[in-house]
Amino acid sequence: MQSIGSIIPKNVQRAGIDNKVVSSQAVSIFEKIKDDFLDNELSRKVQAMYFKENTLNIASLSTSATQDLTIKTGEIIEKLNALMGKKIVKKIKIIA
């Protein structure tokens, strides 16, 4: 008998929705970890919008948050990929 953990990924891929699942995961994980990289006030001024073509697009309402995200881009990508279990996120684009 197969575990559900092995069945779901195969069926997701077969259904052709694997890109949407990955996109949703990238956005969701960033929202959970952004406090690790930004203080509380700045964290409330940024939001992951969507993930497309290995790029996480983040909206920022603060120049300070934009600067912090730009400086910490490498660290953020590294943590996102570690939590996703694969090197999927290659770039971060900040929409100010």
CB 47 within 8 A of CB 32: no
- Total domain count for the chain? 1
In this predicted structure, the answer to whether residue 53 has a pLDDT above a threshold of 90 is: yes
Q: Is the pLDDT score of 12 beyond 50? A: no
Higher pLDDT, 70 or 18: 70
Residue 69 in contact with residue 46, Cβ under 8 Å? yes
Q: Is the pLDDT of residue 77 over 80?
A: yes
pTM comes to 0.80
Cα 42 from Cα 63, distance rounded (Å) = 9
Question: Looking at residue 27, which CATH number applies to its domain?
Answer: 3.30.300.180
Question: Cα–Cα distances in Å, from 26 out to 21, 75, 78?
Answer: 9, 15, 12
Average pLDDT, the chain: 87
Q: Which residue has the higher pLDDT, 28 or 23?
A: 28
The whole-number average pLDDT for the span 4-18 is 56
Range of the domain at 31: 4-95
